[in-house]
Amino acid sequence: MLRYKVTIAYDGTQFAGFQLQVKQRTVQGVMEKAVRTIAKSPTRIVVNGSGRTDAGVHALGQVVHFDFPFALPAAAMLKALNSLLPLDVVVKDCQVADSGFHARYDTTGKRYVYRVSRGYYTDPFRRFYTGHWKYALDVDKIELALNDFIGTHDFSSFAASGGSIKNKVRTIFAATVTEDPASDELIFEFYGNGFLYNMVRIMVGVALEIGNGRRPVHDILRLYEVKDRTQARYTAPASGLYLKKVYYGDGPADKGDLVTL
Amino acid sequence: MLRYKVTIAYDGTQFAGFQLQVKQRTVQGVMEKAVRTIAKSPTRIVVNGSGRTDAGVHALGQVVHFDFPFALPAAAMLKALNSLLPLDVVVKDCQVADSGFHARYDTTGKRYVYRVSRGYYTDPFRRFYTGHWKYALDVDKIELALNDFIGTHDFSSFAASGGSIKNKVRTIFAATVTEDPASDELIFEFYGNGFLYNMVRIMVGVALEIGNGRRPVHDILRLYEVKDRTQARYTAPASGLYLKKVYYGDGPADKGDLVTL
């Protein structure tokens, strides 16, 4: 029995999210099918992800682990998986991991990207790959506001209601926005020790409203205080969100640095 | 009755091509539906395209015309169409045209783009928007070969068999290839006075085989001679093809220049 740590990218458009669901096409589902085919296993082989992603959310570097019944060189496993997986999932890296490694429990940080298309109309070619904001945006104001995300805060106002997680305190190490000259899209990047359900999409929604002048620049500080999700209002759509990287003690998170990478 | 000339862009992925078909989702179909809704017309209003595009083929600048029962300012027509069209079609320009203007019969040239993704595996995010070639490519060789397309030639070897068009002679004004540093994709561009069915996709297929050394650099000259479509073999997939611009006496085509724009 050998444990593999596998980094995958996927286009989330045609998936009902990461997590296995009956009669739905999910990333976990297609991964488990491929692994089981390679193993010729009569029973399910569980593929554990670093966390779930919602329907329509993409990944550039999601990490999963699974236990495989026999030893296959990592390069052979990578090749076998890519030959079996559908075209919207690709294995980017494959390593044999320590038997104690766990893709979810061992994470020390995650990095998300959120892309926003700014044209008056949604670009037909980007509708599944960006959020869309057609109103005026002051990017300097957004940059200023994003600084308020950095540090350790109670993100209760930035988490979808419901859910079993009681502790809503998270640490954000970096929060940036850049303009992609090629596409004229805004690219948000958030790096933190963990993210609550819908948290990045709500953070982006608030940042866009600040950029449009609908909220004061430092409204984020007020939202920490009120601990009221309804006051954050707008959740940016799933289509713009990408899980970029999962950290396992290999990022500056572990040194406690609050740096922009 | 007023004739409108409308420039549209569309993501061809979810269309069964441009041309109206029973029980199929087509670009012409969604355009006609939108126009008819604005006109509140009890009968069909025909939307004529500059030409068909196949299922999966995209457009950055397809041109259509239609006759509308009452006078609407062009800006209002543009806005009304965009508010009614699905997200995979967008109107980029709208003008009131001369009553004699015809989107198909008046074309003097067309420009196509073909994008090729070069990674070993298909990029999940680009699978509907590029062709894919994982073998080695000598771009200098391709550039050399593309020069053989320029000029007036019999393109019988480069046209899908069947079809009613007897005259297979066309003039190519420009044929270029560039490398997109952002995406690492190859971008072919072809500008000519007209293109036969599947012609660009077959031209790209031959160019890629030359770039990989499967054909001699000047094999295109031989293909003109043999007039045999089977010898051109590979047709590059629809997903990489974009109709970029349609010319109506407004391009260098009319001056007979053989220039790269």
Q: How would residue B252 be classed by pLDDT, with cut points 50, 70 and 90?
A: low
Q: What is the pLDDT of residues A52-65, one digit of tens each?
A: 999 999 999 999 99
Asked if A125 is an interface residue toward chain B (Cβ–Cβ < 8 A), one would say: yes
CB contact under 8 A, B123 and A90: yes
Q: Which positions 204-233 of B are in contact with A (Cβ < 8 Å)? A: none
Alpha-carbon distances of B167 from B153, B155, B164, B191, B222, rounded to whole Å: 11, 9, 9, 19, 19
Q: Which residue of B has its CA nearest to A9?
A: B124
How would you label A39-67 residue by residue, b for 16+ Cβ within 10 Å and e otherwise? Answer: beeeeebebbbbbbbbbbbbbbbbbbbbb
Binned at pLDDT 50, 70 and 90, residue B161 comes out as confident
Compare CB distances from A125 to B122, B129, B182 and report the shortest one's residue.
Answer: B129
Task: Specify the CATH class of B2-97 in words.
Answer: alpha beta
Residue A112 among known ligand-binding residues: yes
Instruction: DSSP for A54-90, please give it.
Output: -TT-EEEEEEEEEEESS---HHHHHHHHHHHS-TTEE
Give how far A91 is from chain B: nearest CA, Å: 9
Reply yes or no on domain A2-96 having CATH 3.90.25.10. no
The percent of residues in chain A predicted with pLDDT above 90, rounded, is: 87
Q: How far is CA B65 from CA B52, B78, B82, in A?
A: 14, 13, 16
Q: For chain B, give percent helix, strand, coil, nearest 5.
A: 30, 30, 45
Distance from CA of A123 to the nearest CA of B (A): 8
Domains B2-97 and B109-252 fall in the same CATH topology: yes
Q: Which residues of A touch B93 (CB under 8 A)?
A: none
For chain B, the average pLDDT equals 94
pLDDT band at A261 (very low <50, low <70, confident <90, very high): very low
d(CA B36, CA B16): 21
CATH 3.30.565.10 correct for A109-255: no
Class of domain B109-252: alpha beta
Looking at residue B250, its pLDDT comes to 79
Q: Taking residues B89-100, what's their average pLDDT?
A: 97
What percent of chain B clears pLDDT 90, i.e. is strictly above it? Answer: 87
In this model, does residue B183 exceed pLDDT 70? Answer: yes
Contact of B11 with chain A, judged by CB distance below 8 Å, is answered with: yes
In chain A, residues 176-205 whose CB comes closer than 8 Å to chain B: 182
The residue extents of the domains of chain A are 2-96, 109-255
Cβ contact B10–A90 (<8 Å): no
- The answer for A 81-100 residues in CB contact with B (under 8 A) is 82, 87-90
Q: What is the pLDDT of residues A144-199, one digit of tens each?
A: 999 999 999 999 999 987 767 889 999 999 999 999 988 889 999 999 999 999 99
Contact B91, B33 (CB under 8 A): no
